[in-house]
Amino acid sequence: MTGPTEWVFGDPVGVGPWEGPLPTDERYDPELLAEGDRRNVVDHYRYWRRDAVVADLDSRRHDFHVAIENFQHDHNIGTVVRTANAFTARAVHIVGRRRWNRRGAMVTDRYQHVDHHASVDSLLEFARAEGLAVVGVDNTAGSTPIETTSLPRRCVLIFGQEGPGLTAEARAGADLLVSIAQFGSTRSINAGVAAGIVMHAWVREHADLKTAW
């Protein structure tokens, strides 16, 4: 079942109650069929049960993971989760504090696998066990420009927090450090924006665009 109402912004989105003979496919949610589906989902998933949507996404997920350090309650994490859902990241990993501000995720965390690691070392152990390259994203000495760098297909993209960037532990544990070219006066860009840029770089290089909605 759908549980609490998912976000609706401005004019109602989605579709009303199902018209005509009811489908018998078990992926459909009887409550949504009867009341309509106003969730923020693509049309392909209209009227589907949430667990059915997650199962279908699991069959489509890409080979990259996203990790973000959360040692100061970063408010960008919700945006990172929402973007990871849009690009079907395998999982999002929150490193540090378990609690994070879900508001920016716009309920997409219901469809995106989100794991927690108490420390950077725990994340690195996970990456090694899964055979994933660790790609740190930080505008720091020794980083190579993302614009001219090939990203590993199977990897964890790890981001630091607004201001301090990656911790020393994360930089030391990364197999590759990349930076985003900037041309203005600011020292850094929003961590949620940076995550979107790098995820899209991975998509441009590795994703099969024929599978996009």
The string of pLDDT tens digits covering residues 98-137 is: 999 898 899 999 999 999 999 999 999 999 999 999 999 9
Q: How confident is the model at residue 94 (pLDDT cuts 50, 70, 90)?
A: very high
Tell me what pLDDT residue 5 has.
55
User: Residue 15 phi/psi, 5° resolution?
Assistant: -135, 160
Task: Please name every residue paired with 145 in a beta bridge, in sequence order, or none if there are none.
Answer: 179
CB atoms within 10 A of CB 4: 6
CATH number of the domain located at residue range(s) 64-211 in this protein: 3.40.1280.10
Give the rounded percent of residues in the chain with a pLDDT score beyond 90. Answer: 82
Sequence spans of domains, the chain = 11-53, 64-211
Q: How confident is the model at residue 1 (pLDDT cuts 50, 70, 90)?
A: very low
In the DSSP assignment, the letter for residue 38 is -
Tell me the C-alpha distance between 78 and 59, whole Å.
Answer: 23
Tell me what pLDDT residue 71 has.
84
10 pLDDT exceeds 60? no
Please compute the mean of the pLDDT values over residues 13-24 and round it to a whole number: 94
The string of DSSP letters for 78-104 reads HHHHHHHHHTT-S-EEEEE-S----GG
The string of pLDDT tens digits covering residues 170-207 is: 999 999 999 999 999 988 888 899 999 999 999 999 99
Whole-structure pTM value:
0.91
**Mean pLDDT score of the chain:** 93
Kind and range of the H or E run holding 123? helix 120-130
The residue written with tokens 């614009």 in the block is 147
Task: Please name every residue paired with 176 in a beta bridge, in sequence order, or none if there are none.
Answer: 135
Helix (H, G, I), strand (E, B) or coil at 23: coil
